[in-house]
Amino acid sequence: MKAVAALLNRVEFPLLLAGVVIAGGMWGFLELMEVARDGAPHSLDSEILLFFRVAGHPDMPIGPHWLQNAVRDITALGSASVLTLVTAATAIYLFLVRKWATGLFVIAAIASGQLLSTLLKAGVDRPRPELVSHLMQETSLSFPSGHAMISALAYLTLGALASRAVHGRTAKIYVLSLAVFISLLVGVSRIYLGVHWPSDVLAGWCAGFAWAMLWWLAARLLQSRGEPETAD
């Protein structure tokens, strides 16, 4: 026990937290993948999907009509076009201020996540839910939710960068919490729109947050080795 305590004292809390997120994300994703590969949908998946619909009317979402438009706006925050625009704008800014390595890091992290999402979808090959009507058109496979996964990866990565530019622990926590909150909103919007099973979204969060933490650890490793970054 003393040896374990001594080891924990030498490990920085952020590194320990990143390790927990990676391990938990990988474990959660593998468990959810087994659910996705089952022929019949999980009962909890069905219950959650129906929770967002008027009882007895699976084609009628709960809430006022304007809520549907608001949810579509929120889900767009996790779309490929919006995230590509945000990533490109961030990378260009970093290049302009001569942060070449950081700009390439952002591009590599988010592009690799998009590729991973595509490969995972093809590997699991889960169709979209048919239990409720879809409130927007989708043609790709269902598991994992690409919107949930890439938004978690992108916003957490960008949030980590932004947190380095603000001062004070409260401000840093706010920035990172906002990144997580937006990612969660995007995932919930996919369930409300009926285009994903809840397990698809949860798996996307697991994979996205774990992938973001892996890239964060890689960045810390490069920094610890003294990899140069062009000055401002």
Whole-angstrom distance, CA of residue 194 vs CA of residue 174: 30
134 is catalytic: no
Q: Give the active site residue among 42, 134, 147, 167.
A: 147
Q: Give the active site residue among 57, 134, 167, 196.
A: 196
Cα–Cα separations (whole angstroms), residue 108 to 87, 95, 101, 171 = 10, 14, 10, 27
Cα–Cα separations (whole angstroms), residue 14 to 17, 25, 165, 216, 225 = 5, 16, 17, 10, 18
196 is catalytic: yes
Active site residues: 147, 196
